[in-house]
Amino acid sequence: MGAYNLYKGEHNCHNSITLNRILKQEWGFDGVVVSDWGGAHDLDQAVKNGLDMEFGTWTDGLTMGATNAYDNYYLSKPYQKAILEGTYTEKELDEKVRRVLRTFFRTTMNRRKPYGFLCSESHYEVARNVAAEGIVLLQNEKVRELNNATVLPVDPVGKKILVVGENAIKMMTVGGGSSSLKAQHEISPLQGLRDRLKDSNCQIEYARGYVGDVTGNYNGVTTGQDLRDERKPEVLIAEAVEKARTADYVIIFGGLNKSDYQDCEGHDRKGMELPYEQDKLIAALAAVNKHTVYVNISGNAVSMPWRKQVPAIVQGWFLGSEAGKALAAVLVGDVNPSGKLPFTWYESLRQVGAHSFGEEAFPGIWRNGKKEIIDEEYKEGIYVGYRWTDKQKLKPAFAFGHGLSYTTFKVSNLRAENTLTIDGKLTFNVDVTNTGNRPGMDVVQLYISDVKCSVDRPVKELKAFQKVSLNPGETKTVTLTTDKRALSFWDEESGDWKAEPGDFMVLAGDASDNLPCKVKVTLIER
């Protein structure tokens, strides 16, 4: 799918450089390029510059912009008319149709395609497993009141558990733009906990804590929930704090939702802070209960000024239909968390590269002072995410690749051939041991650093990773294989990947800031 923005004066939904030259020629992509909704702007460019299917011109997806709107797409009646008038031949049309038919053949016409039954229990089982494996345990400190044990997993038997937060009850499958779904069901975090602990002789109370988005509908789809609550924030916080004083555990489900300016397409967030005065709520709860767990429901990072006061923090994402069951399984220890962060979780926007170069980098400057086109100058270069963190020697809240477990692991004995040929495979072996007392999974990550290079390169770059499952005391050898691309950089002069002979440092561990193993290898030309 092409993007909305322009590159070198051409929209990326029909761009001669990004689509024709790079995607289809250099990368050999033989599938279909579609426009984002309403992303096509010019008939001639749409015909010639790599667009195969057009979506959304003359309509905003909710209402018609014209009668028979699809006929008005650039690649519909106007394209047909231009061919009949001789402006274009059928050469470009044949190429577009060929790509569409090839995609049909590979998908709907594939007789070897594995079939399943929509909304079957087997599908929901997959949804639960995928959701549970993706949950990230960010923090799990030991607490003196629990005999120096960690807060998670929760020991529910005979306990009083207070669940707080709108995100404990709010459906998240509806809203957000294109992520909005018509789900058969969605199990909330509160319901998931109640179902899991119904036979555990524990008491579960609920406090709203904050009020956010109570609409519950988007694009004609409605959740059927009525989340209206007219109480003021201070009243909601006071109620939650009073209940927290007598609870054995407090589990807060907060974060973002899929409203405008949160996790929603079409609107950037205005900051990293939590909305709806959640920071006040979380700090107040942590002050009166040392067994507080915060579960962040969002698609990306938030700032956590109270992080050192909350012993356990979980990243819960938007987990779909089985969200409540997956979260409950992790919180009570049925599932040992094994997810890893796919991005660097910064303390605040001050640590983010894009916010370090002035407003022309972000949020950008309106061209010629008119609010029509905004120009953003990309200034980070190759230093994005953990590459920026390494270059600036920053300490983020949580590093790229970070994710804890209810057991512990040791990564050791990284080894490889000391001399590698420029056209050969790169094979590395590393041992992983479960040093704790329960089964679990860890993700071994391999980074490579170029000791000396003719161009500027990141301190290190992730080149391979693999998840491994281990019983207590078990050791497995993980083999990670790649090739010379792992040692290469993009050479602007030759327009190709280039690996320079010399020394490279190979690092292994289970997070970008936890790489205890290293070995030096030398690349030679054969």
Q: Which tokens in the block code for residue 158?
A: 């005979």
Burial class from Cβ neighbours inside 10 Å (0-12, 13-18, 19+) for residue 146 reads middle
Distance CA(260)–CA(256), nearest Å, equals 10
Q: Which has the closest alpha carbon to 402: 346, 326, 352, 344?
A: 344
- In this structure, the number of other CB atoms found within 10 A of the CB of residue 235 comes to 12
Query: What is the C-alpha separation between 210 and 252, in angstroms, rounded?
Result: 11
Catalytic positions: 36
**Contacts (Cβ under 8 Å, ≥6 apart) of 394:** 346, 351, 388
**Within 10 A of 376 (CB to CB), how many other CB atoms are there?**
14
Q: What phi and psi, each to the nearest 5 degrees, are found at residue 421?
A: -90, 150
- Per DSSP, the three-state class of 440 is strand
By DSSP bridging, strand 496-498 and strand 489-491 are antiparallel
Give the integer Cα–Cα distance in Å for 522 and 426: 11
Other beta carbons less than 10 A from residue 232's beta carbon:
10
d(CA 123, CA 82): 47
Residue type, 207: A
Mapping DSSP to helix (H, G, I), strand (E, B) and coil, where does residue 426 land?
Answer: strand
Q: Looking at the DSSP assignment, which residues form a beta bridge with residue 480?
A: 428
Local structure of residue 352 (DSSP, 8 states): -
Tokens of residue 203, six digits: 């008491």
What are the residues whose beta carbons fall under 8 Å from the beta carbon of 242, sequence distance 6 or more?
Answer: none
User: Which residues, at least 6 apart from 247, have a Cβ–Cβ distance to it below 8 Å?
Assistant: 160, 161, 162, 205, 289, 291
Kindly state the tokens that stand for 411: 């990564």
373: helix, strand or coil:
coil
How many residues are present in the chain? 526
Name the residue with tokens 């106007």: 78
Question: Residues 279, 224: contact at Cβ < 8 Å?
Answer: no
Torsion angle of the four alpha carbons 131, 125, 445, 407, in this order, in degrees rounded to the nearest 10: 80
